[in-house]
Amino acid sequence: MFTLLPGSSKILPREYRAAAERLFPPGGFPIEKGPNLKAVGTFAEVLGIAEDYKKLWDVHSAGNSSGDYLDQFQNNLDLLIQKTWVEKAEEIRKENLLDKVEPFVALIERRDYLRALDEWGSILEELAYLLFGAQSQKEDFAEYIIRIDDRMGLFWWYGGQIKGAREAPWVRTADPALLYALLIVGISYLTDF
């Protein structure tokens, strides 16, 4: 059976839609309540990154540093940004984005997940612009990407939700473990992008 992702005319497998709606419901959350850890893990499974997500989660749960994986993520993201072709006038955007990656990783290493989540939304927005141009600024961006690839579309939908979550009341009172989980979904996806 297939159903639609909220706001999309593209048919998606029911499991994708269900995982997306459990992570960030279409009507939003009650004022002080955000997603739960189980919903984040299920979304990671749907994105095809469950193994990497679980590794990072286990390292965090054990109180250890995820430095090696974060180094791999940073290297891959730097390479992705550097290899992105843009018009000469937009080279400054690339440079500005490259300058944000190392401080973002440092926030995660310091376990400052609230500030890292703020930065993550900004990084994903800029990365989407570099990869997809002005289309990334349109309201139907996730639908556009879903037409290209379901999982990639879900990832960029997640990016839009992260950007919106930065302003949600539940974020300021959320358990740091939840914020970390939301971050490592995207980190896991982009490490192997």
pLDDT tens, residue by residue, 87-144: 887 889 999 999 999 999 999 999 999 999 999 999 999 999 999 999 999 988 888 8
Least confident of 29-43, 96-110, 112-126, 145-159: 29-43
Q: Strand, helix or coil at 2?
A: strand
- Contact in structure between 31 and 58 (CB atoms under 8 Å): no
The closest of 41, 180, 189 to 112, measured between CA atoms, is 180
CA distance 165 to 120: 11
Q: Say if residue 32's pLDDT is above 70.
A: no
Helix (H) or strand (E) holding 165: helix 150-165
pLDDT, position 116: 95
CA distance 193 to 186: 10
- Contact in structure between 93 and 126 (CB atoms under 8 Å): yes
- Contact in structure between 155 and 182 (CB atoms under 8 Å): no
pLDDT digits (tens, 9 = 90+) for 104-116: 999 999 999 999 9
Q: Say if residue 11's pLDDT is above 60.
A: no
Contacts of residue 149, defined as CB under 8 A and 6 or more positions apart, other chains included, come to: none
- Contact in structure between 44 and 55 (CB atoms under 8 Å): no
pLDDT, position 86: 80
State both tokens at 35.
């997603």
Region 32-48: what's the mean pLDDT?
A: 87
